[in-house]
Structure 1
Amino acid sequence: MGDRIVALVTGCAKGGIGHEYCKALAEQDCQVFASDIPQRMKDMLELASSHGVEALELDVTSDESVVSAIEVIISRYGRIDVLINNAGIGSVGPLAELPLELIQKAWEINALGQLRLVQKVVPHMAARRSGNIVNVGSVVGMVPTPWGGSYCSSKAAVHAMTDALRLELRPFGINVVKVVPGAIRSNFGSATMEKIGAHQWSLYKPFAEAIEERGRASQGLKSTDAAAFARHVVSKVLSPRPPRQIVFGHMTGLFAVLSWSPLWVRDLFFSNRFSLNRKL
């Protein structure tokens, strides 16, 4: 047991990509800790029964919760070899109307939540001069889309922090990997759609349909299967020399082209895609 890789994954409720990361790690004979907020603990029962994964309560917005979860693992195994910062929420709507508290919540969970885990795990990894930290960004962190400015900006922050951390943690023997998913099929899109339905737009009422379309955008028929995505990422992270960045999934090619395109080309593409090419 002492030689098994000890991995902690955040945001592991059933139906999500974190759930699949746990399965993929368990298949590689890792000692896996799946974590999520208290309300979702029952969603991880299947992981424990069928894959030997241990479930932990962990709220990425709480220092106390993060410290407590990490202490459980350290007390049991003495180390954390792999951290996958997967926890995140969707946030869709026009930035001029989306309530600031919802935008703050997205940033707190998606960006600061990852950094909170990093800050609490790094001392343990640095003491051993080894460890892999995996921060999950998004293609829209590189190329933001209309109606998704809140989510896109939270993921852009993840990309910026990860690029800085990769260099800052190198002297301590810690690898930092930036994961850039494309459109991955999971329950993430349906959870986002529920939130959109709760809003009554004022200025943007004529665009309600386009806003909903943005909420569904990552969950089309061609979206990459979450299990296949998770296995791909885990195989790279557990390799002898983990890559700096893993870009994988449906639409990553399109977003790569858009990232190199002039802004007028990008604006034209998204204006047409999300009904912003008309005057009111």
Structure 2
Amino acid sequence: MRFKDRDILITGGSGALGRRVVQQIESEGGRVVIVARAPVAGRQTLVGDLSTSQGLEAVAAQAGARPWDMLINIAGIQHFGPLEQQTPEHLLASYMVNLVAPARLAQAVLPDMKARRRGQIANVGSIFGSINFAHFATYSSAKAGMRALSQSLRRELTGTGVGVTYVAPRAVATPFNSAKVDEYARLTGMAVDDPDQIAQRIVAAVRADRRDVYIGFPESLFVRLNALAPGLIDGALKSNDLKARALFAG
């Protein structure tokens, strides 16, 4: 779907990757509104904290009150480390932002899209949602849920005129990564992509109304292998998993 003169709602639009996506879409004539916890100067903002039920409902109410041509879910939060070291509050917030919010906002915008028989929902997930990395348990499982949400919703919307795109980048060089994630990437040789290039790939996938896009090689190959023979991927990742474990020893 072209962006010119389209009304587009983007979560995570004030983040390092989201800002780049917003800029590219606006350069093609799209009218963008972002979701953020506080008003963003110079930008139309739906205000609400997606990590809480109250904040999410505030955003959903605002989103459902007006028509949208596209919803692009980019917002995400991450925990890197043993599951038992993640606080209960952060664990719940991880699922709220990474999975519950995309589903709830889709609920909010779909009635009007279906009534007009035109629209698109794009969910930006992660390769980690298909290759479920150790020490990223909540992030990987939430993104796996986002992938499943995208696929099931696409099937549900067949024939309605509303499309669903799922884009799964690998690691991206932004402040989203903690110092330990950066150290893990250095120790294991994990590829970390340029955010400008990834933003371009996301925008291209949405513009073309692609179904599923996995970014990066060999990770995109591992996605297929993990689906067919996860034991092979267990072995391939074992050395890196042990290196990650060492970061949290003691």
Q: TM-score, normalised by structure 2?
A: 0.83
Count of matched residue positions in the alignment of Structure 1 and Structure 2: 238
Residues 118 and 133 in structure 1, CA contact (< 8 A), matched pair in contact too: yes
Q: Residues 127-166 of structure 1: matches in 2 within 5 Å?
A: 127-166=115-154
SS at match of 2:166: strand
Q: How does 1:42-53 map to 2 (within 5 A)?
A: 42=40, 45=41, 48=42, 53=43
Counterpart amino acid of 2:8?
A
Deviation readout 1:233-280 (Å, 9 max, x if unpaired): 2123123xx1111222465346336525733332222221132799xx
Q: Which moved more, 1:105-114 or 1:222-231?
A: 222-231
Letter aligned with residue 58 of structure 2 = S
* 1:23-62 Cα shifts (integer Å, max 9, x gaps): 1110111111122112xx44xx4xx4xxxx5333233343
Q: Name the structure 1 match of 2:90.
A: 102
Measured in 2, the distance between the counterparts of 1:187 and 1:33 equals 22
Question: Who is 1:204 aligned against?
Answer: none
Name 1:36's counterpart in structure 2: 36
> 5 Å matches for 1:98-247?
98-190=86-178, 193=179, 212-213=180-181, 216-217=184-185, 222-239=191-208, 242-247=209-214
Distance in 2 of aligned mates of 1:31 and 1:175: 19
**Structure 1 residue 150 displacement after superposition:** 1.1
Q: Which residue of 2 aligns with 1:252?
A: 219
CA distance in structure 2 between the aligned counterparts of 1:116 and 1:257, rounded to whole angstroms: 29
* Partner-residue secondary structure (3-state), 2:102: helix
Q: Tell me, in whole angstroms, the C-alpha distance in 1 between the residues paired with 2:144 and 2:158.
A: 22
- 1:54 is matched with 44
Write the deviation string for residues 80-114 of structure 1: whole angstroms up to 9, x where unpaired. Answer: 11110111101122124433332222111100011
The match for 2:58 among 57, 65, 87 is 65
Residue identity in the other structure for 1:70: A
Distance 1:118 1:129 in 2: 15
Question: In the alignment, which residue of structure 2 is the partner of 1:201?
Answer: none
Give the share of equivalent positions with the same residue, in percent: 28
- Provide, for residues 155-176 of structure 1, a one-character-per-residue CA deviation record: whole Å limited to 9, x for no partner: 1111111110001122321101
1:5 corresponding residue in structure 2:
6
Find runs of 4+ consecutive structure 1 residues off by over 4 angstroms. 213-216
1:169–1:175 contact (8 Å) kept in structure 2: yes
Instruction: Supply the distance in 2 between the matched residues of 1:272 and 1:221 (Cα, whole angstroms).
Output: 12
8 Å Cα contact 1:166-1:175 kept in structure 2: yes
Contact preservation (8 Å) 1:139, 1:255: no
Q: Specify whether residues 130 and 183 from structure 1 end up closer, same or farther in structure 2 by C-alpha distance, changes over 3 A only.
A: same
Q: What is the distance in 2 between the residues matched to 1:147 and 1:221?
A: 14
Whole-angstrom distance in 1 between the partners of 2:206 and 2:181: 33
CA-atom RMSD, angstroms? 2.8
CA distance in 2, matches of 1:275, 1:221: 14
Give distance in 2, aligned partners of 1:275 and 1:12: 35
> Is the partner of 1:33 in helix, strand or coil?
strand
C-alpha separation in 1, matches of 2:171 and 2:56: 31
Cα pair distance change 1:251/1:117, threshold 3 Å: farther
Q: Please give the secondary structure, in 2, of the residue aligned with 1:177.
A: strand
Q: Which structure 2 segments of 5+ residues have no match?
A: none
Which one has the largest radius of gyration? Answer: 1
Distance (Å, rounded) in 2 between the aligned partners of 1:29 and 1:270: 43
Task: Decide whether aligned partners of structure 1 residues 266 and 105 sit closer, same or farther in structure 2, where only a CA change above 3 A counts.
Answer: same
Partner AA of 2:185 in structure 1: A
Q: For each residue in 1:195-241, what CA deviation from the matched residue of structure 2 results, as whole angstroms up to 9, or x when unmatched?
A: xxxxxxxxxxxxxxxxx3587539x89522212211222123123xx
